[in-house]
Structure 1
Amino acid sequence: MVPSGNPELTLAQFRALHRQIPLVYFVCLFGGWTVVANMWGQAPLALVLYYPVAVTAFAIYRLSIWSTGFASAEDPTHALRRLRSANRMAVLNPVLYGAWAMALFPYGDPFAQGQIVFTVGICNVACTFCMLHLRSATIMNALVVNPVYFSYFAWAGDGVFIYFALCGIVVSLVAVAISNFHYKDFVRLVLAGQKLHDQQAELEKKNTELQRLNSENDWLAKHDPLTGLPNRRLYFAELSDRYEKARREARPIAVCVFDLGGFKPINDIYGHEVGDSLLVEIANRLRHSVPGVGIAARLGGDEFAVVIDTASSPADAEQRGRRVLNVFETGFKLPEGTVRISGYVGVAVWPQTSTTSTELHEQALYALQTAKRDPSCPFAVFGNAQADEMRQTVLLERALLAPDLTDEIYCAFQPQMNIRTNTVTGLECLARWNSPDLGQVPPGLFIPVAERAGLINRLTLLLLEKALKEVHRWPSDLHLSFNLSPSNLSSKGFIYQMLELVKKHGFPASRLEVEITETAVMWDFEQAKAAIEVLKEVGIGIALDDFGTGYSSLKHIHLLPLDKIKVDRSFVRNIRPNSTSYGIVKSLLNLSRDMGISCVVEGVETAEELLVLQNLGAEYIQGYFFSKPIKAEEVGSYVADYRPVLKGDVVKAS
């Protein structure tokens, strides 16, 4: 039988036989026509002419079938049919040729008969070897030829021919055995080739998958998976290439960096999924709304950057950068509704600024910070003023890293008053810096620099230690109010360092109050809440500073364990009945009462402001009306000498 369970083996057998079947017919026809040539004139024409011609025609027909069938050599079904046909012919051909040989045998002389015996035996062995790739055909050929071959010559009764037949049978069986060995080797070779082919196919499949994964990883390494925009890595590589090309061609190139105003509250209120949808929509608008963009990238969070390298002039580059604000002109439609957000944009243009691509990007970032400081003008271009500020920032950063900073930084304290009891209840610690190189540096200048430079935790701990050394000389009923920055709150390590410092100086935690801004809370609400809870556990009071000026919601305020809120000076300036600020302060005072917490009104500078606040029921006041920030050594005398204020007193800020 022909094995049909392995298409690859079937095709291999077919290909081998396709080359060897013509040899089978050639051997048989050549042997047959030599017998015809020798028996011509001794046997009837039917045996030496008509029959051989008919068999030859049949053989040619079979050869034509095999030759035209090779076009389907890759079709296992066609190959299987041809092999089964070869099996049938392995039975039919011996019958056709054997019967003819035996019919001729009686007409020949002993030499002619010997030729017939020899030709039959040789052809039988030749066919066995020619068909060794189809074992079933060799076996069937031997089973048909050998019994008939031996039986006929045994019946003829001639001993010589019987030995001839026996020898032929033995040779035929040996040929079958040898062909069987070769067949097994052939099968093993085919199976090994098939296994190798499968392994190669698997390797190619894995290689294709590896190439796909490499391409995907390369894409992911260079793009933001959320928006599909280039990420920080690809952005800086592209910026470097484009910057150098622009310099060689002496044409302008601009970097435009922008981030979103009010994105974090949207994230907190609606959830990160809505925030992600918003970022995707911004990326889509950026692709289609800003012309002449060389590359647009998401640098992280809500920060994006655009490189413009097709402008005709620096002014054109600046104007194209301004068009980034077009992204925010219309609201963003989200599943929860339409939201509107603002954007802050900073632009730096070469050749007006910078000597490297990195410097150009840093200048655009600085311009962005400038834009964010003035919400009324959310677009800023890096120029000479910003360059001076950057140089000053570098000087400040270097000075903040100086080993003598401990001697240069000191604390000032501003009293907080209870206007119902006319007493000093505590003092707020304020940072001051007197640098021998830079002079008296305002806290509004060096605190943000320390924050950006990652130096704020060190600076805060330094100030806290100085303050804790001073409070031991105060009356025991006064509390210390101390400010924490967003970075302080977001650092788990800082909170524990701070507590260790308080413990080291033996200062009662109940007399310490930390002030945090709404911005600090909203920077990372969950972390801020966790830090506040740690502080509350040891008895430290929590005050929310500049209340009403940030982005927090009442939901978040209720979630925080607050002891106090501080109303910002912006609501107090020129306050009078029926004004907007009057209504706001009144609402905040009522809110604090409803929440069961204290409320300190900051920035009170005039008797008129104080009188309005007294009428509103305010209890705790802080501001220049009572005292400017004073030196540590002046606190004791101020508290001791304090007298209730007169309504007409006015102290102006300086």
Structure 2
Amino acid sequence: MSDANPYRRIKFQAAALFICMAGLLTISMLHILRDNAGRVLRSHADQSAQSWTTYFTQVTPDLETLIKTGQPDAATIAKYREASKINHIKQFTVLNAVGRPVYTFNAQLPDNKHPTSFSFEEARRKLSAQLVQRMIGVKVANQNKSVVNAAIKPILQSGMAIGALHVVVDQSRLNSVFLEAAFAGGWDILVLINLVLLACWFMFLLVKRAANAHREQVNRIDELTGLPSRTAFMQELDDALARTDTKSRKTAVMVVKIDRFRELNELLGHDGADTILFEAAKRLMNAAKKKGYAARISGATFGMTFPNLASATAASDIGDEIIQTLAEPFMCRGKHIQPKASIGVSLAPDDGTDAATMVKRADIAQFIAKEHGGNQLMFFDPDAASKFARKHELENMIINACEGQLFQLFYQPLYDLESRQLKGFEALIRMPDGSGGMIPPDQFIPAAESMHKIGEIGAWVLFEACRTANNWPTSVSIAVNLSPLQFDSGNLISDVKQAIELSGLAPERLELEITEGLILDNNESIRQQLEEIQAMGIKIALDDFGTGYSSLNYLWRFPFDRIKIDRSFVVGMDESEQAKRILKTIVDLARTMNMPITAEGIETEEHLVYLTELGCHVGQGFYLGHPQPDTEVAATLINNFRITKADAATELPHEQTPARLTIAG
């Protein structure tokens, strides 16, 4: 289970580190004090040994005789014993010129008893090397474990070493005094160091707290505009909601977004865009100075809250004033700028009682206001929000489908109505809905067009349809629908060429369908693109002919190879004789212009018989065949070649096609 407060663990770790550092310093200090004490005691022993050697040469009547015989007289021994007490000499040994001990004096032992820890060989070596003036640092232990140090000093006569003294100095009392003083001072130093460390630790905590406070303050203020940040806005909104009397008053939350800010950014550059944001922030701050609270919550989006309003009308009036205030023109980089904004409003307690919900719903209302043209105010509406959520979900599905190439093509067969032979297929795009079903194009294509994704989708459809059709018999064609926006993208010609080249499909087997709405403006660019496509050998069909924009002028001014009658006329002839007359008129017109006709929406045998007698060349519809995935196209192709022309008069193609799908064409 994770720690609820991640900083608590850091504090514990820091405290443990502090204790370890203090412990290490304590141990280090103890080692230093011990080493210093040893050096001081050895130095004192050396000095004491030298002093005793000087005293020894002075009080001993005949040094040469003592060194030879090792027998001092009683008076001299008494002097040794008396002086040793004063100088803390525990023991000394007289060595002859070759380092052999000849006499030993010990304050606690009988005369001439040598301590077992003494090395005579070392003394001889020191003497022979003339190094006896240096302290050898031999520590001598005795029965009561007193602190002692030994040193060897030469006995000089006329500047020549005639022997040596091995002096053992009792330093127990001095050691106690020294350690008491040293450790007292050492502990003071140690306490001082730990106090300094503790002070540094607290200073670190204070600096950290100050830095966190500064960071929090920075996070609460937007650096560019000087307005409160999103964090501060959410806190203020929570406070305002808590203070509002929800029984009789309302709190309005507004999300204000500058319209077309991306275009302004491209026009004026980043500095110019920052100027617009700064000016907008200043105006919003003035608008909220007496009545509410304003903040910059992201990019070109601002948040405002107005507590204790009497009604929604009061919020609407405030919003209208803000729109008018923002729209006042000003100069920016030599250009007159008139910012416009979309405002979404949510009201508490009607739309929510917490800050997150209120801001989210005001933001949804702002998006809806922007979709309706911008520069207006919209209140949050649950129904509109539900539609917005579905639209947003659909847009996400389109994005995922484009990125993962999840779209699928279904193929609806086209039959020659006279011979009842298969002529080709029309490619119809579908998008998976994520639950095993398919979304038809009339539901997601408009959204894809508004998202500027239709060019990408259209290029994929072209290539995939051509690639699949290239595996069919050469007599079977493929028809693909084009969106008007593909003509505006400037990439249509290259997309068509690439689809043909990469798939290997013969151009004459491809037919591209466009709607009448595309040619309503009589655009010369569209006519040129159609002619360039036609020059490749590709056929052009006018789809949904007769649905409102048809004109004889279009038929002779634009290069069409085929007319497709909209299915609404075919389905309508069951109930209207007028529909039949319109159908006859369209067929007669196409026959006069020597232009083939395809009838859509054939759903009954009566439709098939009437359109055949009327003179339609090609037909499609559920009666002839449902849209099917490419895995089922092969069965349709096989069944088609089993049908002879003689059999076609009495046996309809749909009876040999696979089971019909439930997806509408």
Higher strand fraction: Structure 1 or Structure 2?
Answer: 2
> What's the TM-score, normalizing by structure 1?
0.44
- Computing the radius of gyration from Cα coordinates, the structure with the larger value is 2
